[in-house]
Amino acid sequence: MLQNHSSATEFYLLGFPGSEELHHILFAVFFFFYLVTLMGNTVIIVIVCVDKRLHSPMYFFLGHLSVLEILITTIIVPVMLWGLLLPGMQTMSLTACIAQLFLYLAVGTTEFALLGAMAVDRYVAVCNPLRYNIIMNSRTCNFVVIVSWVFGFLFQIWPVYATFQLTYCKSNVVNNFFCDRGQLLKLSCNNTLFTEFILFLMAVFVLFGSLIPTIVSYTYIISTILKIPSASGRRKAFSTCASHFTCVVIGYGSCLFLYVKPKQTQAAEYNRVVSLMVSVVTPFLNPFIFTLRNDKVLEALRDGVKHCSQLSGTSL
């Protein structure tokens, strides 16, 4: 506990409740999730770069999405794993806490911007296929990706700055496994109502700013698919969007529960569960969503495995 009128220079992460044995089990589970996330998303990045059949806007965006998934889980999970091995609370300096929160929010914002762009890409592919290559050319794709990254990192500068301009005199114990903004606001001795309201409006802008184009795009996509006379044609058209749609439902669902509400200082248990969904579960599931439900990616993956086995056979 801190003295009155002094502000924290370091924070203690409370992490997960429970016994040491439970912490070791959680460590094994989350370490497995982290390894699979790294391997799965790295495989997607490699095959998108190497296989010429995947040199199209959809897979170009998918490669960048995989990079973002690796980053967002790497920002959170190694710190969380280290905390599970420690007997007490984990210490994090103020600088490290600022860096973690900023990178986590910036990468998340970039991901939502990219998901919105991917929805528009699917709309053009399904609803305007004859002009798809003209509209979604390499220049457009590069511009969209650069804007998404720049927007994500610039947009989160003020929210993080405002969060750490507060005075933390109540305590320096953060009831989560990372520097969670909601829990940090709880520790401030300032009146945070105005700051929380501005943060709420900014979260609404990010999430709904990318969700509205997604909803509009899928409304037109579904309308166009339903007009296709053959069942096989409808199935083929929808299969190109199914992976992205599943990713959107999981990603937006989690973040709507976590960030879009006027009161940021909700229960720690609630924060912990939803944060796990965002930083661990979603990055873990995305490689499976985009490979198991995509014939082109599966085919490229099979060919890659076959090629690697042939190379290893000849070397022996």
Residue (of 94, 78, 249) closest to 167 by Cα position? 94
Say which CATH number the domain at 143 has.
1.20.1070.10
- Has residue 284 been placed in a domain? yes
| Summary mean pLDDT of the chain | 84
**Per-residue model confidence (pLDDT) at position 258:** 59
What's the average model confidence in pLDDT over 225-229? 83
- Has residue 312 been placed in a domain? no
Confidence of residue 5 (pLDDT cuts 50, 70, 90): very low
Query: What proportion of the chain, given as a percentage, has pLDDT over 90?
Result: 33
Reported as a single tens digit per residue, the pLDDT across 184-201 is 888 888 888 888 888 888
Confidence of residue 1 (pLDDT cuts 50, 70, 90): very low
Domain count across the chain: 1
Q: If 0-12 CB within 10 Å is exposed, 13-18 middle and 19+ buried, where does residue 309 land?
A: exposed
Give residue 90's domain range: 10-303
Q: Give the residues across from 12 on adjacent strands.
A: 91, 173
Asked whether residue 260 carries a pLDDT value surpassing 60, the answer given is: no
- Has residue 252 been placed in a domain? yes
Task: Determine the Cα–Cα distance for residues 24 and 117; give it in Å rounded to an integer.
Answer: 40
Q: What is the DSSP letter of 232?
A: H
Asked whether residue 6 carries a pLDDT value surpassing 90, the answer given is: no
Task: Determine the Cα–Cα distance for residues 123 and 183; give it in Å rounded to an integer.
Answer: 39
Residue (of 135, 106, 109, 105) closest to 120 by Cα position? 135
What's the average model confidence in pLDDT over 101-127? 92
Measured N-to-C along each axis, helices 295-315 and 282-292 cross at an angle, to the nearest 10 degrees, of: 90
Q: Are 218 and 245 in contact (CB under 8 A)?
A: yes
- Has residue 314 been placed in a domain? no
What's the average model confidence in pLDDT over 143-157? 96
Least confident segment among 213-217, 248-252, 266-270, 286-290: 266-270
What's the average model confidence in pLDDT over 295-307? 76
Confidence of residue 3 (pLDDT cuts 50, 70, 90): very low
Reported as a single tens digit per residue, the pLDDT across 80-108 is 999 898 877 888 998 999 999 999 999 99
Tokens found for residue 179: 């520097």
Confidence of residue 207 (pLDDT cuts 50, 70, 90): confident
**Per-residue model confidence (pLDDT) at position 263:** 54
Residue 140 CB contacts under 8 Å (≥ 6 apart), including other chains: 57
**Per-residue model confidence (pLDDT) at position 303:** 77
**Order of strands across the sheet that contains 10-13:** 90-93, 10-13, 173-174
66, 249, 284 from 301: Cα distances, Å: 15, 25, 18
- Has residue 55 been placed in a domain? yes
- Has residue 310 been placed in a domain? no
**Per-residue model confidence (pLDDT) at position 53:** 84
HSE of 10, CA atoms in CB hemisphere, 13 A: 6
Task: Determine the Cα–Cα distance for residues 112 and 117; give it in Å rounded to an integer.
Answer: 9
- Range 55-61 contact pairs with CB under 8 angstroms and sequence separation of 24 or more: 57/121, 57/136, 57/140, 57/141, 58/118, 58/121, 58/122, 58/125, 58/240, 59/296, 59/297, 60/141, 60/145, 61/114, 61/117, 61/118, 61/121, 61/141, 61/144, 61/145
- This model's pTM is above 0.85: yes
Task: Determine the Cα–Cα distance for residues 238 and 222; give it in Å rounded to an integer.
Answer: 8
- Has residue 240 been placed in a domain? yes
What's the average model confidence in pLDDT over 147-155? 96
Task: Determine the Cα–Cα distance for residues 205 and 109; give it in Å rounded to an integer.
Answer: 10
Among the residues of 51-172, which ranges form H helices? 57-85, 94-127, 132-135, 138-155, 157-164
- Has residue 94 been placed in a domain? yes
